[in-house]
Structure 1
Amino acid sequence: MDQKKIGSFLKELRKEKGLTQEQLAELMYVSDRTVSRWETGSNLPSLDILIRISDYYNVELSEILDGERKSGKMNKELEETVLKVADYSNDEKMKMMKKLHIFSWIGVVSFLIYLALDVTGLAGQGITEAIASFCSGLSLGMLITAVLYTSNSIYKIKAFKKRLLGKK
């Protein structure tokens, strides 16, 4: 795939519709800077956005990925497969975001408990000291987990774990 060619084609399609980068960005729910990066070839849209772009411009997905118009039509079965893959990708993103949301709230609540114990001076006495330490550690752990999820490092860790365990 030639990203620069794809970017030029996306720019050509946008200009054919008479849109500015800002207008296209609003339609695709991204920033105008993101559209600029697509058109220069430094980044490519995600699969779900590529499908929305192909629908909006009324071109086949294969034409966008090739960076030029084709005279033939994309196989309907292949198009359905691509749509299923995009739906699966979106479902996976939603699952990950739900987990991230839960982890974040656990971190916030545990930090608030720690903060309440610390402010009231109970964090250094008996069992409440252990609770405060646990909440402090839990909130830090949830923060680290959120960073791993948002940086996609969690997938590298999962792959490493599978290699260690010898799973496919």
Structure 2
Amino acid sequence: MDQQNIGKFIAQKRKEQNLTQEQLAQCLGVSNKTVSKWETGKCMPDYSVVKGLCAQLHITVAELLDGAPAEKNAAQASDEQVMELLRRTQALEKEKVTLYGILLIVMGIALLAVSHSFGGSDLQDFLSGVLLGISVGAILTGMCVSIKSLAKPK
């Protein structure tokens, strides 16, 4: 799955349908900048718009993901199977980001506990303060990442 080839394929099919990026974007409920990012290979369409995109371009999901028209003799997975695979992949990505956030929170709490064990001399107090700052930063970053990931609609 090559983003550049998929982007070129989307642009080619859009032009075959005599659609501008703006018109395609309006049909799909996205911005024309989003369509431009797809066509330049900077990002991939979200699974929630893949079916609509394929319908507008008169292609199958498998053709979209291949970045080329399907060969007549090739065995193809059904669109439902491909969509389910896309949905699962994006769900796993979301879970991964959430776990990274939780890991940052746990790491921040551990550093917070370590920072309280230092103290006594000026150097130890300094190290304690540095660890305290790092731990607070890790906790806040972890919370931000986790909340942002959990707030995204499925």
TM-score by length of 1: 0.50
Deviations 1:31-62 (A, max 9, x none): 11111000000011012212221122221111
The equivalent residue for 2:5 is 5
* Partner of residue 47, structure 2: 47
Aligned sequence identity (%): 33
Contact 1:38 1:44 in 2 (8 A): yes
User: Which runs of no fewer than 5 residues in structure 2 stay unpaired?
Assistant: 92-141
Q: Distance in 2 between matches of 1:54 and 1:148?
A: 32
1: CA distance between counterparts of 2:72 and 2:53?
19
**Cα distance change of structure 1 residues 76 and 12 upon mapping to structure 2, 3 Å threshold:** closer
Whether the 8 Å contact between 1:60 and 1:73 is mirrored in structure 2 is: no
Residue type of the alignment partner of 2:28? M
Q: Read off the aligned partner of 1:50 and give its amino acid letter.
A: V
Distance 1:39 1:30 in 2: 14
Helix, strand or coil: the match of 1:11?
A: helix
8 Å contact from structure 1 (residues 48, 86) kept in 2: no
Write the distance in 1 (CA, Å) between the matches of 2:43 and 2:88.
22
Higher relative contact order (CA 8 A, sep 6+): 2
After TM superposition, give the deviation of residue 83 of structure 1 in Å: 3.9
- Shift in alpha-carbon separation, 1:74–1:22, aligned structure 2, 3 A: farther
- Superposed CA offset, 1:96-125 (max 9, x none): xxxxxxxxxxxxxxxxxxxxxxxxxxxxxx
* Pairs aligned (count): 105
Gaps of 5+ in 1: 93-143, 155-168
**Structure 1 residues 76, 64: closer, same or farther in 2, change over 3 A?**
closer
**Contact 1:62 1:74 (8 Å CA) reproduced:** no
Q: Following TM superposition, by how much is the alpha carbon of 1:147 offset from its aligned partner in structure 2, in angstroms?
A: 6.3
- Change beyond 3 A, Cα 1:74–1:35: farther
Residue 89 to residue 45, structure 1, CA distance change in 2 (3 Å): same
1:8-19 correspondence runs (5 A): 8-19=8-19
In structure 2, C-alpha distance between the alignment counterparts of 1:74 and 1:49, rounded to whole Å: 25
Q: Give SS of 2:35's match.
A: helix
The question of whether the paired residues in 1 share the 8 Å contact of 2:3 and 2:41 is answered with: yes
State the TM-score, normalizing by the size of structure 2. Answer: 0.53
Q: Residues 67 and 83 (structure 1 numbering): CA distance in 2 closer, same or farther, change over 3 Å? A: closer
* AA partner of residue 48 (structure 1): S
